[in-house]
């Protein structure tokens, strides 16, 4: 979301176990160099995360300068007057809440991982139409035994570090949590349950006689759907968009990242990173807890 140059900002620096007062001083100097006026500096957890209040500087300029000056530290810049602890989390799954792209791993069982992964990468970079790329990749899986889906999930799907801590901590604090993926319900349903999401949305792989047909049920979950799910969830829970948090890594996440009160790109493709309010470049998903001011003692489960 766009922020004016006069909006008071809150800058959070995160580097678990590696952050020093010197880093905060360096960040303050960078902000002063932009014409900003750093104010209160307060530790969230000593050595892990710290907040710096600042005025008279634009959010985009502050983020760019701080990321360049502190390349080993995650930087979250947000309006100081926004709700700190967000009331809605909407998250992508593949390469965000889990460590793989499920369709690529499925394709590996058919000996097609390299071919499918190349298309996935191009789609996530925003170089291909998402729906067309999805159809093309799924078509290559036609005839695969549906039992391979569960095998793939057991053998290949691993949660992203910090996923359970993020979702369960926010849920314990009263937030609604929603997993929305351009992937498949055969993966999102068990992943959502394992992490602790309240709801999940994804595409459905069509199966006939125990084998994949090579098609996906319509309508598909695409970039527009993700944004619509964010807006619908906020409306259903009567919360302002300023109280929402979105996280994702690919081009199909951009509309929801832009619509959220705080959109965070997670180890993301360049277009998604540029479109988001902030980017996690170094740490895990618990950086999103630090962005909301959560101390480690507040986490529902370990990171």
Active site residue 56: no
The residue to which tokens 């992937």 are assigned: 183
Q: How many residues does the chain have?
A: 303
**Long-range CB contacts for residues 172-178, cutoff 8 Å, separation at least 24:** 172/300, 173/85, 173/298, 174/87, 175/85, 175/86, 175/87, 175/88, 175/89, 176/87, 176/88, 176/89, 176/233, 176/237, 177/88, 177/89, 177/91, 178/88, 178/89, 178/90, 178/91, 178/229, 178/233
Catalytic residue among 51, 94, 253, 277: 94
CA–CA separation, 281 and 286 (whole Å): 12
Catalytic residue among 51, 92, 104, 108: 92
CB 217 within 8 A of CB 203: yes
Active site residue 145: no
Catalytically annotated residues: 92, 94
């Amino acid at each position: 979301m766009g922020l004016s140059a006069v909006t008071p900002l809150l800058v959070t620096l995160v580097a678990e176990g590696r952050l020093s007062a010197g880093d905060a001083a360096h960040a303050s100097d960078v902000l002063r160099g932009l014409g900003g006026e750093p104010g209160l500096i307060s530790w969230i957890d000593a050595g892990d995360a710290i907040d710096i209040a600042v005025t008279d500087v634009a959010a985009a300029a502050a983020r760019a300068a701080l990321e360049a000056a502190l390349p080993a530290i995650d930087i979250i810049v947000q309006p100081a007057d926004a709700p700190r602890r967000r009331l809605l989390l909407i998250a992508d799954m593949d390469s965000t809440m889990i460590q793989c792209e499920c369709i690529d791993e499925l394709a590996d069982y058919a000996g097609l991982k390299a071919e499918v992964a190349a298309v996935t990468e191009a789609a996530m970079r925003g170089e291909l139409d998402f729906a067309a790329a999805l159809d093309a990749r799924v078509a290559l899986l036609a005839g695969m035994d549906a039992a391979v889906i569960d095998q793939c999930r057991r053998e290949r799907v691993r949660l992203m570090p910090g996923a359970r801590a993020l979702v369960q901590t926010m849920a314990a604090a009263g937030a609604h949590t929603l997993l929305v993926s351009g992937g498949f319900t055969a993966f999102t349903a068990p992943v959502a349950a394992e992490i602790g999401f309240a709801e999940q949305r994804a595409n459905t792989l069509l199966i006939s006689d125990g084998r994949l047909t090579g098609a996906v049920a319509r309508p598909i979950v695409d970039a527009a759907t993700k944004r619509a799910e964010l807006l619908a969830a906020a409306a259903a829970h009567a919360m302002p968009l300023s109280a929402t948090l979105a996280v994702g890594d690919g081009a199909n996440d951009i509309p929801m990242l832009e619509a959220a009160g705080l959109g965070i790109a997670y180890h993301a493709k360049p277009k998604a990173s540029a479109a988001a309010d902030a980017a996690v470049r170094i740490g895990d998903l618990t950086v999103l807890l630090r962005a909301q001011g959560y101390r480690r003692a507040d986490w529902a489960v370990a990171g």
